């Protein structure tokens, strides 16, 4: 029995790894395309892009591990069935029930690993992602600026950007309103502006100061004027606002402190962070039941069936969450409906296959 278990586990390693990698890559495609745009258009370094992708990875893995286990199990047991190895295994007294116990251990391991990611790795990755984003803004503020934009988030200034040069990333025709507690703020202009060490450098700059009645009081010119933006960044505190980056324990703590009308999103997310890992156990068992006893099923068929069921699962999960957020159904039913669907399908297949195998 132990030798057979080792053999099956050894056969399942690569298909499961391939399945997780495949679904993870699919989920990463949109992020990768966005990051490539950032490299080409916005001038972000490849190193920073790679780090951002690495911080996204734990969040994606928490969703793709159940899918990858499902696909890997289907491919493994599809091959065992195709080459009649399942018949040989049954002939030595190993029943379908024994095989399901073995595979459910794989699902349990996947579930425990996802809980570990959610409680330990993902919150840290989320904070690191925010820190890296702020660092990129600090080192290269221009990456988030566009033509005809007024920025009112800097402590002492309002900044209007008329045009950004697509090649040099320099700004043209910049207006800066200095917030100096007067009725008419001091106006600073610059023909060309570039960024250096978290400061705006204005070339051919002029400034205008006004009296309380709006009459011009003073004007001057500078060949170069430096406007420091360090105040905008020095007091930034990282605070996790997106509930997707929180662990179940943190979500529950936040849920306990919220008003009744604010609790719903936290309750939905708590259920999701429990239901998705549990689905790894259900999907691992379902993968066996869909594969054994069907000799005509090849890898292509297994891939198609696996992707189809995963698609249905994702649709049910997302629809349930949308209905839950809108208050149309309870968060428990909305989030867990997809798992209930998988359990019903698994049980019906077990009743059917258990009589034959």
What six digits make up the tokens of 118? 């959610």
Place of tokens 């957020």: 325
Residue scoring higher pLDDT (107 or 217):
107
| Rg (the chain; Cα; Å) | 29
What six digits make up the tokens of 140? 């290269």
Strands (E), 152-198: 157-164, 171-178, 186-195
Task: Supply φ then ψ for residue 170, to 5 degrees.
Answer: -80, 155
275 has a pLDDT exceeding 70: yes
262 has a pLDDT exceeding 70: yes
* pTM: predicted TM-score of the whole model, two decimal places: 0.71
CA 349, CA 122: separation in Å to the nearest integer?
35
Question: What interhelical angle do 331-354 and 264-291 show, nearest 10?
Answer: 10
pLDDT the model gives residue 137: 60
pLDDT the model gives residue 53: 85
pLDDT the model gives residue 40: 60
pLDDT the model gives residue 105: 93
Instruction: Report long-range pairs for 173-178 (Cβ below 8 Å, ≥24 apart).
Output: 174/200, 174/202, 176/200, 176/202, 176/227
Confidence of residue 61 (pLDDT cuts 50, 70, 90): very high
Residue scoring higher pLDDT (241 or 166):
166
pLDDT the model gives residue 145: 59
Place of tokens 């800097």: 154
Helices (H), the chain: 2-41, 46-82, 85-91, 96-116, 122-139, 230-234, 248-257, 264-291, 299-325, 331-354
For 133, counting Cβ atoms within 10 Å of its Cβ (0-12 exposed, 13-18 middle, 19+ buried), the class is middle
297 has a pLDDT exceeding 70: no
Q: What is the side-by-side order of every strand in the sheet holding 157-164?
A: 149-151, 157-164, 171-178, 186-195, 199-210, 216-228
In the chain, where the domains are located: 2-139+240-354, 155-228
Classified as helix, coil or strand, 115 is helix
111-142 residue pLDDT tens: 999 999 999 998 888 888 877 776 666 555 55
Cβ atoms of 253 and 232 closer than 8 Å = no
Interacting residues of 320 by C-beta distance below 8 A, sequence separation 6+ = 329, 333, 334, 335, 336, 337, 338
Confidence of residue 271 (pLDDT cuts 50, 70, 90): very high
Confidence of residue 235 (pLDDT cuts 50, 70, 90): very low
Q: Mean pLDDT check: name the lowest of 27-41, 144-158, 205-219.
A: 144-158
298-325 residue pLDDT tens: 556 667 777 888 899 999 999 999 999 8
Residue scoring higher pLDDT (96 or 272):
272
The DSSP 8-state label assigned to residue 119 in this structure reads I
């Amino acid at each position: 029995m132990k030798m057979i278990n080792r053999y099956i586990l050894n056969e399942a390693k690569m298909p499961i790894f391939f399945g997780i990698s495949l679904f993870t890559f699919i989920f990463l495609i949109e992020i990768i395309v966005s990051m490539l745009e950032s490299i080409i258009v916005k001038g972000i370094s490849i190193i920073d892009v790679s780090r951002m992708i690495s911080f996204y990875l734990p969040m994606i893995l928490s969703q793709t591990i159940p899918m990858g286990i499902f696909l890997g199990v289907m491919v493994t047991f599809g091959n065992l069935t195709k080459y009649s190895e399942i018949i040989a295994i049954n002939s030595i007294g190993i029943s379908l029930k024994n095989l399901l116990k073995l595979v459910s251990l794989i699902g349990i391991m996947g579930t425990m690993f996802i809980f570990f990611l959610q409680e330990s790795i993902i919150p840290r990755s989320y904070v690191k992602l925010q820190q890296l984003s702020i660092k990129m803004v600090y080192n290269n503020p221009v990456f988030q600026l566009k033509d005809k934009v007024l920025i009112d988030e800097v402590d002492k200034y309002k900044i209007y950007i008329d045009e950004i040069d697509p090649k040099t990333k320099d700004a043209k025709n910049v207006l800066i309103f200095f917030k100096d507690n007067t009725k008419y703020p001091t106006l600073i202009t610059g023909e060309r502006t570039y960024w250096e060490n978290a400061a705006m450098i204005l070339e051919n700059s002029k400034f205008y100061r006004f009296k309380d009645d709006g009459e011009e009081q003073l004007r001057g010119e500078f060949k170069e004027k430096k406007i420091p933006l360090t105040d905008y960044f020095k007091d930034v505190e990282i605070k996790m606002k997106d509930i997707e980056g929180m662990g179940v324990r943190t979500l529950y703590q936040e849920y306990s402190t919220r008003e009744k009308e604010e609790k719903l999103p936290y309750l939905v997310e708590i259920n999701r962070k429990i239901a998705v890992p549990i689905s790894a156990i259900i999907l691992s068992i379902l993968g066996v039941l869909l594969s054994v006893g069907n000799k005509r099923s090849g890898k292509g068929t297994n891939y198609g069936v696996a992707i189809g069921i995963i698609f249905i699962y994702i649709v049910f999960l997302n629809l349930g969450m949308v209905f839950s957020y809108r208050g149309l159904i309870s968060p428990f039913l909305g989030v867990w409906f997809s798992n209930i669907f998988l359990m019903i399908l698994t049980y019906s297949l077990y009743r059917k296959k258990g009589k034959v195998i």
